[in-house]
A and B are shown apart, each in its own frame.
Chain A
Amino acid sequence: MDFGPYLFVASLEGAITAAVLALTAVGLSIVFGIMRVVNVAHGEFYMLGAVLAWWITSMIAGHPALGFWVAIVAAPLLVGALAVLCDRFILNKVNYDPERTIVATIGLLYVIQQTTLMTFGPEARPVQAPFNERIALPWFEYGESGFQMIWPWGLSTTTYKLFVIVAAIVILLALWFVMTRTRIGLIMRATQLDQEMAQAHGIPVNKVYALVFGLGAALAALGAVLVVPIQQAYYLMGSDPLLLSFIVVIIGGLGSVLGTVVAAVLIGMSDGIISVFFTPTLAKILATLLVAFVLVFKPNGLFGKSRE
């Protein structure tokens, strides 16, 4: 394959990474934006989404697509419910103190991850896609007879991969609609602006926090259910999305869902393309250092407004 079509395939893969990353990172972003909680266990909620999707599809007999459609609804709901419980019984009890919540969510990370290891096991397990037709893609080239359309071997995608991208866009639009056009979105934004003032106006801030934490986790799980037919469910699969979500949230700035989405597209696309040129380990080193240096040299800027 020539370089051009190769890059095209890499960007298509990048678009899928970007779509899933956008969902996961928006989940992390609203939790930080509204609750001021850095959720280190976010990657584990993602992993749980994938593992539950495997579990649900393996439970349901019949057409493989049926299991998948049940999973895409049920897995995020279950993960969201678990997150609400974590909020009620842990985060709420430490009064959402920034440092103590980080330590508590690190604990949560290990509890979820190791419990999955003990029950689900150390193997990676596949989930079948509900549909998966191959689509060959054309490529345009300037040849002897002017522009011509060719069909290079290997330049293709599948219907499911396109579905992931479309689904992510639809979900993000729905989220945007909820946040900006509905009463519950208004309540969330009010809580984000001034928690005490919101409380004074009779907004049940604790319930809003529980809802937001559940919603954030459910978005991560949703991203994982979408990606699991392409990747596979594995108990350590949460660490990369966590790192990438951190990067996206820090680069994109907080509070704005739009900034996070733009950064997710940018990072997801470049991750797909960078990993074509660098070894994955080197790419990860560069990514972690990028986050560190952005935080060091823009201490409050990229983390939204200063807390003081």
Chain B
Amino acid sequence: MSSLADSSAGLHKPLLSQGIRSILLHVLIVVLLFLLYFALPVYHSGNLARILVLAVFAMGYNVLFGYTGLLSLGHALFFASGMYGFGLAIQFLDVLPGAAIFIGLLSAVAVSVVVGVLALRTTGVAFMIVTLMFAQAGYLTVLLFGEYTRGDEGFNIHRSDRVLFGFDLSQATNRYFCALILFAICLFLIAWLVHSRFGKTLVAIRENEERARMLGYDIQRHKLIAVIISGTLSGAAGVAYALLFGYAGASFAAVQYSILPLLYVLLGGAGTTIGPLIGTVFMFYLIDLSSDFASAYLSSEFASAYMLIAGIVLILLTMFAPQGFAGLLRSKYKWLP
């Protein structure tokens, strides 16, 4: 996070408006991530490719949770729709990767429309339970059609199916920069979105739904579009995960993949553009280091129990820092996007 502090210190001139500062910050992050690939050892740049894809998932989640104020417990469903839409199309429809990506995104859009229309009839706690139940039904459906999806075991996507525009994405460098391009597109898209009229209306709904309604905004329509954007970005992350890492499995549809983006966003800071990335990096390395530590010094059962760390962090965050890292930074640097 030192880059952030540096940039804000250097930019303390009134000449730079809030908008320019935030554009500079986002460009700086992408440039930094670009350079990191050459600076980091192979193990960590491999991790970072995974983190960038998961951060896209978290950014998608953040559109709904951070900006619209809707807490979903079922985003694994959108991630899995993208992953399986892409994976099953490649596996059984004999299409080109480009077409399979399109099918993956399309299935994420379709699922988010259906879930959005149904779940948005409820609010608050009921919304959380309904999304949880839909995602659970989705997970069980993946298991039910185990003949095609291979259930928990999952299936590998062949190397020849992971070539895009002539780039072999099973190769580490191509994989990293493909993940970075996706991440950069999503980052700028969201940065633009939240500064647009539409994004500001979402925040108004989050802050005071009744008042936004009274001002004449169509709340249901805004919320539905937010669900669709959020679900589609999560689905894009699912497609990218299958494409870049060559694997689709039922565990990505299970409930912990609905909890993880919530955790990333809470930790990094809900309702901030950079929060999801920060949260994903911290959580990823926290789990990685603790399971390394556990398998080195404790029994192997400790290593498999990584969700214990997630549980503890979740409780501590809810109790002590509901605004997350970027939220804490923002209370100091008001201009943070």
Residues of A participating in the B interface, judged by any CB pair closer than 8 Å: 38, 90, 93-94, 98-100, 102-104, 106-111, 113-115, 117-118, 121-122, 243, 246, 250, 279, 281-282, 284-285, 288-289, 291-293, 295-297, 299-300, 303, 307
Q: Which of the residues B143, B305, B314 comes within 8 Å of A107, measured between beta carbons?
A: B314
Q: Does the CB pair B134–A107 fall under 8 Å?
A: no
Q: Does the CB pair A288–B137 fall under 8 Å?
A: yes
Whether, in the assembled complex, B304 has its beta carbon less than 8 Å from a beta carbon of chain A, the answer is yes
A residues near B302, Cβ cutoff 8 Å: 118
B residues near A104, Cβ cutoff 8 Å: 314-315, 318-319
Q: How far is the CA of A255 from the CA of B144 in the complex (A)?
A: 36
B residues near A122, Cβ cutoff 8 Å: 301
How close is B82's CB to chain A, nearest CB, in angstroms?
21
Q: How would residues 294 to 331 of chain B score, 1 for a CB under 8 Å from any chain A CB and 0 otherwise?
A: 00000101101101101111110011001000000000
Residues of B participating in the A interface, judged by any CB pair closer than 8 Å: 71, 73, 118-119, 121-126, 128-130, 133-134, 136-137, 140-141, 143-144, 259, 262, 266, 299, 301-302, 304-305, 307-308, 310-315, 318-319, 322
Q: Does the CB pair A90–B315 fall under 8 Å?
A: yes
Q: How far is the CA of A282 from the CA of B140 in the complex (A)?
A: 8
Q: Does the CB pair B262–A103 fall under 8 Å?
A: yes
- The interface centre, meaning the residue of A117, A118, A292 with most chain B CB atoms within 10 A of its CB, is A292
With A288-B136, A291-B133 known as contacts, the answer to whether A93 contacts B319 (CB < 8 A) is: yes
Q: How far is the CA of A278 from the CA of B140 in the complex (A)?
A: 14
B residues near A102, Cβ cutoff 8 Å: 71, 73, 125, 128
Q: How far is the CA of A110 from the CA of B299 in the complex (A)?
A: 19
Q: Which of the residues A111, A250, A299, A300 comes within 8 Å of B311, measured between beta carbons?
A: A111
Q: Does the CB pair B130–A90 fall under 8 Å?
A: no
Per DSSP, chain B at the interface is helix
How close is A45's CB to chain B, nearest CB, in angstroms?
15
Q: How far is the CA of A246 from the CA of B304 in the complex (A)?
A: 28
Q: Does the CB pair A111–B128 fall under 8 Å?
A: no
With A107-B312, A108-B315, A295-B130 known as contacts, the answer to whether A99 contacts B124 (CB < 8 A) is: yes
Closest to B301 in A: A118
The contact sample of 6 A-B pairs, CB cut-off 8 A, is A111-B315, A118-B308, A246-B129, A289-B133, A289-B137, A300-B126
How close is A285's CB to chain B, nearest CB, in angstroms?
5
Q: Which of the residues A94, A117, A246 comes within 8 Å of B305, measured between beta carbons?
A: A117
Q: Does the CB pair A291–B314 fall under 8 Å?
A: no
